[in-house]
Amino acid sequence: MYRIAISGHRGLPAPTVRLVDQALRSALAERAPDVTGLSCLADGADQIFARAVTDLGGTLEAVIPAAEYREKLPEDSHPGYDDLFARAAAVHRLPFTASTPESHMAASRLMVDEADELYAVWDGKPARSYGGTADVVAYAREQGTPVRVIWPEGAQRGLRPRRPATLPMPWSSRGMGRAARCLRWQVLFRAAFPRTTLAPFSARGSLVTYAVAWAGCPWMASWQARQTMRVLRRILAIFTAQAGCPGPGSPRLASLPTW
């Protein structure tokens, strides 16, 4: 019996689901019912393919990447997963506990190794993360397994979910990364020491600036932060005295906030 593995995108929009379903059924009809489909039963292409295989009278084999695989799938895909899992004639379980990109890629490699052909529901673009469809296609081609790319005209991928952006309050360390804090201190430091004045002092100035930034001291956050800034101001005074630059008592420095 001819064995076909599936790899493809997840989170497909409803119009694309219909297009992909039609394309997969058309491709499978060339060999059904004498076909065995191998699928991880994830949401998206995996479940579309698995359902088409069983509807056309083929045999379904499920490949489960990890013990926690099902619970890591989107909740709305659990009914489809359970239904297709129950229809599977055989289940291949990999010895992983956590559902990770590495376990997913290991499952894909197993399917490719056990298959005569790979169906890839793929838009032709690089994988968004390790173990994506592009990685599976590359592995199949390295192994000499035929790859049939299925991406009907008009198909589109869903938008990748993003975490809501959190903007920090102006000149506050709350929610700011070290790079942002470093930029803030660079601005303040350059306001106190213009580039022309800082020319003989640039190396030391960068040292102090980055030391302050990586210390990550927020304004007036704690007694420890204030003590740290007092020490840094003393160090700065020593450096400026040696370099002949304006010290902490200069008008430019006096305009800075005190801590």
- Specify whether 194 is located in the same domain as 106: no
Domain boundary among 149, 165, 194: 149
State CA 109 to chain mean position distance: 21
- Specify whether 141 is located in the same domain as 184: no
Provide the domain limits for residue 20. Answer: 2-149
Domain boundary among 149, 170, 189: 149
- Specify whether 118 is located in the same domain as 13: yes
Neighbours of 56 (CB within 10 A): 16
- Specify whether 140 is located in the same domain as 185: no
- Entry field: residues in the chain: 259
- Specify whether 117 is located in the same domain as 20: yes
- Specify whether 225 is located in the same domain as 126: no
- Specify whether 115 is located in the same domain as 183: no
pLDDT tens digit string along 135-162?
Answer: 999 999 999 999 999 999 999 997 665 4
- Specify whether 102 is located in the same domain as 39: yes
Q: What is the CATH number of the domain that holds 80?
A: 3.40.50.450
CB–CB of 179/243 below 8 Å? no
pTM across the whole model: 0.63
- Specify whether 106 is located in the same domain as 204: no
What's the CA gap between 158 and 169, in Å, rounded? 32
What's the CA gap between 166 and 176, in Å, rounded? 10
Residue stretches of the chain with pLDDT short of 50: 162-176, 195-207, 209-210, 212-214, 217-221, 247-248, 253-254, 256, 258-259
pLDDT tens digit string along 4-28?
Answer: 999 999 999 999 999 999 999 999 9
